[in-house]
Structure 1
Amino acid sequence: MKLVILDRDGVINFDSDNYIKTVDEWQPIPGSIEAIATLSKAGFDICVATNQSGLARGYFTPETLTAMHDKMTSLVTEAGGSITHIEHCPHGPDDGCNCRKPLPGMIENILSKYPQIRAQSVYVVGDSLRDLQAGVAAGCKALLVKTGKGERTLEKGGLPDRTAVCENLNSAVDIITG
């Protein structure tokens, strides 16, 4: 069994500094759905770990978040893949939780569902430094995509050692499956 953990906004779907607040605003990045399906067909379980402070800020409801995730999983299913599990942090930046990235709580919770998989064999794919930091803190490998906030993250530097960098999720498939 193999596992990949993906951030959502900026990796799978277009991101917005004003938050993705509606199902209509949730739009996949070209190639991302197909990339997930390709990974799924290659025997990977795909999990998503996403900060969703828009819940704490009152920008959208839990029902809207569920509808966004239903849209995402339906598109992946239609493409011949599957998303095994979605973890989200509903907290704001000052709430003091242990799940909000860059803390590793969500990643560790996902890994706990796969006791037979070594964290060192798992890629955590993100577009921000905090995604990568959470993955590395949990013992995983980091992969930065340049979509979403990825270009800005790359320009700022300070990436964890041995971080792989790809144009997008679709181009990351070769590294992940390699």
Structure 2
Amino acid sequence: MRNNKSLLHGLGAGLISGAVLLQLMDAAADARQTPIDVGSTPPVAEMDKEQLREAASQYYQVIEKDVTIYTQAQLDEQLQQLAQQQAASSQAVASQTVKEIHVYISNGMTASQVGELLTRSGIIADRTAFEEAMAKRQLNYKIVAGVYAFQPPAELSQVIAAITS
């Protein structure tokens, strides 16, 4: 039993010193935390709306109750709908403002003269492309005189079909 007695004394002393060290570490951890000064702010029940907002704004983002908060997906969806509405309204305005242009092609006009006339009136964008297409289809001398109505910008093939038929 004498051999065990010293062992038991060492074990008891170790437990006591361990408990003391644990209490020291716990006290040091409490001291590191920032103390909240309870005396400077009144209790929440006694605060008015403005004081409560100021106290909460130190730690939180304060937003009024009637303000709508959107997620990024909801915001993207609404922006997409708005862009579609604007595109539709701009197309409606553009379709209302498009006018019909009437051109008179007199008898004996060449393809280059007709190309110049159509380019100046804004019906086609490229005169050389018109002349090349007429030459490629061998329609240079098959232009029919008359008054033609086009809505710019017109397709080159539609213009050629209209003036040669």
Confirm or deny a common fold (TM above 0.5).
no
Q: TM-score, normalised by structure 1?
A: 0.18
Q: Report which of the two has the higher share of strand.
A: 1
Q: TM-score, normalised by structure 2?
A: 0.18
Which gives a bigger RCO, structure 1 or 2 (Cα 8 Å, sep 6+)? 1
Structure whose alpha-carbon radius of gyration is higher? 2
Q: Report which of the two has the higher share of helix.
A: 2
